[in-house]
Amino acid sequence: QLQASGGGLVQPGGSLRLSCAASGRSFSGYVMAWFRQAPEKEREFVASTNWRLDSTDYGDSVKARFTISRDNAKSTLYLQMNSLKPEDTAVYYCAAARRSYSRSWARVWENFTSRGQGTLVTVSS
């Protein structure tokens, strides 16, 4: 079971760090990713990483502002979000799957076998 946390209300230009924890299991060997879904919009890919964190991928709209990271010892995935914009407002979800990493594969929400509950991020003044 994956559970995302850390969402909240932040002003434009601010920062937030999201966390995604897995209860009762290791992340070893897992591809992990963040997705988001804004009101009345389709779910969007945000970022992904392999389990060693030496391969990452970002959606065009968040590149250079967001950073994905993970602590495998703590079975926790993170998303550091800087320079937030109102258009970043969405429910953010984490996902995991045990397989070899492929950037194109990891951009598809339906590919992931474990998909967590979301956390709401609201960017507004």
The model's pLDDT over 39-98, given as tens digits with 9 standing for 90+, comes to 999 999 999 999 898 999 999 999 999 999 999 888 899 999 999 999 999 999 999 999
Q: What is the pLDDT of residue 24?
A: 72
Whether 25 shows a pLDDT value over 80: the answer reads: no
Whether 23 shows a pLDDT value over 80: the answer reads: no
Whether 102 shows a pLDDT value over 90: the answer reads: yes
Helices (H), the chain: none
Report the chain's mean pLDDT, rounded to a whole number.
95
Q: What is the pLDDT of residue 26?
A: 81
> Who's near 87: CB < 8 A, 6+ residues apart?
38, 61, 123
